[in-house]
């Protein structure tokens, strides 16, 4: 099993590197097409590297499945990694339909951020808890990831539309919110950076935490404790003293550690954003906009709509129908207002409203682009905040 896990990890890392290199080649096509007709070669190299990277990620998936004995979608590392793979698959399909290199320049970095985010969670293989020992695990989770991967492409094309069409020379609410979206992406990068840094340093601080039963439990932090567990006592010598306690309303054994991680992500991501602004001396959106002069807004709008039109029914199957069936089997009820279930329903209603406004009210262009960005924000809130902060029946994931 150890050899298979080693191959699996190597293939995932290889895929990440290939996606990174492919992004540079897709970027080169934009520069080349301005000055010469050599963009075709860079485009072919970019999509070839993407296909090889996707094949490497499939090998990661298969080898980890063989090593674990079950589909590798049972914890946060595995699910988020599969979500990133679904995004790449959606991009590949759309590329061969539309042959848009600009899509690769934005879709691959977002997928890489997602994969990098996944790698920050424990990668060990653990036995499945009883409620996960079902074929519905594969059906429900993989369908949700595929649906969200398609919906994520609508975010990419919506972002391209907004970056290309909103006047960056004028300060307005539109430029503010667009920059806020880019800032939010840097927060995820900040999470990856800070977690990787202290992971390499093998940092750990231990707290003793009282439980409702009167016995003391142990909570291990892998980042310096800005927020300690509620009622917790630091046991590790020479570790940084906490600034304050995690609010008592954040339930769950790992609530303090998760809340601490969120704080560090905001801190590191904000510093990263400030450094980028100091280097480029302008808003990030204003720096990107010149690259999008030749993007076709109508085509971006079309892809945004089609991504939602395909991704929404797939998500409906996985996140609502299959999830309810599995909930009935595992917990003897179709619905229980668990935080994960609530936000899945919020996501469903949002994209249903997207399609309603598009088809019935004639919303196109900038309006639907903003909706696509908002929908992805809900998906990421469900993926990050709900998993890191809120506790529920899905906390085992």
Question: Do the Cβ atoms of 315 and 144 come closer than 8 Å?
Answer: yes
Residue 149 and residue 241 share a domain = no
pLDDT score recorded for residue 119: 77
Residue 328 and residue 365 share a domain = yes
User: What are the contacts of 128-131 at 24+ separation with CB within 8 A?
Assistant: 128/70, 128/74, 129/396, 131/330, 131/331, 131/396
DSSP string, 221-263: ESS--SEEPTT-EE-STTPPPPSEEPPTTS-STTHHHHHHHHH
pLDDT score recorded for residue 396: 45
Strands 227-228 and 233-234: unpaired
pLDDT score recorded for residue 133: 67
Band (pLDDT 50/70/90 cuts) for residue 355 is very high
Residue 393 and residue 333 share a domain = yes
Band (pLDDT 50/70/90 cuts) for residue 397 is very low
Three-state DSSP at 206 gives: strand
Question: Do the Cβ atoms of 319 and 343 come closer than 8 Å?
Answer: no
Compute the distance between CA of residue 137 and CA of residue 143 in angstroms, rounded to an integer: 10
Compute the distance between CA of residue 283 and CA of residue 274 in angstroms, rounded to an integer: 10
Q: What would the pLDDT profile of 204-250 be if each residue is shown by its tens digit?
A: 888 888 776 566 778 888 889 888 887 788 888 888 888 888 887 77
Domain range for 273 is 169-282
Residue 147 and residue 224 share a domain = no
pLDDT score recorded for residue 38: 45
pLDDT score recorded for residue 253: 59
- State which of 282, 305, 332 marks the end of a domain: 282
Q: What would the pLDDT profile of 255-268 be if each residue is shown by its tens digit?
A: 788 788 888 889 99
Residue 195 and residue 157 share a domain = no
Compute the distance between CA of residue 139 and CA of residue 144 in angstroms, rounded to an integer: 9
Query: What is the rounded average pLDDT of the residues 319-341?
Result: 78
Would you say residue 116 lies in a domain? no
Q: Which of 24, 163, 178, 37 is nearest to 101 (CA)?
A: 24
Would you say residue 47 lies in a domain? no
Would you say residue 145 lies in a domain? yes
Question: Do the Cβ atoms of 95 and 47 come closer than 8 Å?
Answer: yes
Phi then psi for residue 70, to 5 deg, are -150, 165
Q: How many domains does the chain have?
A: 2
């Amino acid at each position: 099993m150890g050899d298979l896990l080693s191959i699996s990890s190597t293939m995932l890392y290889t895929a990440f590197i290939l996606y990174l290199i492919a992004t540079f080649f897709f970027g080169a096509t934009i520069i080349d097409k301005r000055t010469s007709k050599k963009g075709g070669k860079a485009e072919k190299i970019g999509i070839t590297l993407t296909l090889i990277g996707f094949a490497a990620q499939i090998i990661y998936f298969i080898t980890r499945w063989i090593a674990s004995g079950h589909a590798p979608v049972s914890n946060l590392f595995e699910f988020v990694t599969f979500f990133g793979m679904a995004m790449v698959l959606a991009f590949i399909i759309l590329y061969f339909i539309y042959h848009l290199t600009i899509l690769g320049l934005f879709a691959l970095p977002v997928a890489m951020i997602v994969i990098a985010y996944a790698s920050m969670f424990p990668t060990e293989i653990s036995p499945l808890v009883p409620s996960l020992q079902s074929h519905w695990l594969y059906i429900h989770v993989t369908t949700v990831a595929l649906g969200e991967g398609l919906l994520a492409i609508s975010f990419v094309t919506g972002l391209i539309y907004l970056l290309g069409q909103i006047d960056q020379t004028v300060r307005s609410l539109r430029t503010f919110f667009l920059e806020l979206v880019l800032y939010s992406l840097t927060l995820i990068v900040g999470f990856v950076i800070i977690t990787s840094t202290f992971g390499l340093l093998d940092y750990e601080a231990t707290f003793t935490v009282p439980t409702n039963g009167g016995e003391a439990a142990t909570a291990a932090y892998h980042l310096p404790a800005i927020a300690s567990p509620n009622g917790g006592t630091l046991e590790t010598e020479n570790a940084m003293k906490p600034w304050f306690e995690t609010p008592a309303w954040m339930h769950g054994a790992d609530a303090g550690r998760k809340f601490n991680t969120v704080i560090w992500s905001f801190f590191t991501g904000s510093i990263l954003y400030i450094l980028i602004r100091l280097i480029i001396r302008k808003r990030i959106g204003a720096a990107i906009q010149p690259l999008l002069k030749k993007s076709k807004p109508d085509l971006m709008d079309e892809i945004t709509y089609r991504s939602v039109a395909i991704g929404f029914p797939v998500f409906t199957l996985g996140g609502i129908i299959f999830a309810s069936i599995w909930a009935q089997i595992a917990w003897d009820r179709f619905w229980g207002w668990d935080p994960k279930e609530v936000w899945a329903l919020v996501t469903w209603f949002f994209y249903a409203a997207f399609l309603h406004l598009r088809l019935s009210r004639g919303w196109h262009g900038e309006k639907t682009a903003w909706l696509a960005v908002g929908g992805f924000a809900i998906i990421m809130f469900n993926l990050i905040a709900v998993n890191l902060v809120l506790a529920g029946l899905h906390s085992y994931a």
